[in-house]
Amino acid sequence: MKRSERAALIHERLAELYPETPIPLDHEDPFTLLIAVLLSAQCTDERVNRITPALFKRANTPKKMAKVPVTEIREIIKPCGLSPRKSKAISELSNIIIDQHAGQVPQTFEELEALPGVGHKTAGVVMAQAFGFPAFPVDTHIHRLAQRWGLTSGKNVKQTETDLKKVFAEEAWNQLHLRIIFYGREYCTARGCDGTVCELCQTCYPNRKSAKKTRKA
């Protein structure tokens, strides 16, 4: 089976399994989505969703967040992990959004990635889910599955993103990145599937007998 054929099969099956693609992180607007995505680094979405109500009750705009002491932000978000770094980034980016972007979350990759604590993946999620810009944010779930499905050689997330953008139509990117995450969490987990167990792995590679070794992101 060619890569393009695997991609078409995967696209069709994921659309059947997940016709709706709700954003896993609870948020109210681009700013709260940005903060939630930042907090999700090395933390589950479920835990982030348990933490953000208290944080956003305290401050849900850049102006309000900039007034909250970093120590207070850190205490609220501590269960998410990496709280010293994340709290500092949240405070600093809030001030930058006020000073340089008139209090509005910027709508370009370049400006988003210039914010403290915001990498390419975080910027991609915000661009795709807050602003509807075609993007294909690649996290560890997507990176792992793309390798198992033979859609990329997977040296790093940057290469995986490039490869996925080549095999899937641009208008499908925003939904697909969520659908792959949903599938990875439900059927093709890091421990539950080794490239030979789940439906899509078996369909893409019916003759694969041994575990598929994947490169870390």
Give catalytic residues, as residue numbers. Answer: 121, 139
How many residues are present in the chain?
Answer: 217
Would you tell me how many other CB atoms lie within 10 Å of the CB of residue 98? 16
What lies within 8 Å, CB to CB, of 144 at 6+ separation is 184, 188, 190, 214
Q: DSSP string of 141-199?
A: HHHHHHHHTTS---SSHHHHHHHHHHHS-GGGHHHHHHHHHHHHHHTS-TTT-SSSSSH
Instruction: Please give the sequence-ordered ranges of beta strands (E in DSSP) within 23-65, or none if there are none.
Output: none
User: Residue type at 65?
Assistant: M
What lies within 8 Å, CB to CB, of 11 at 6+ separation is 168, 172, 176
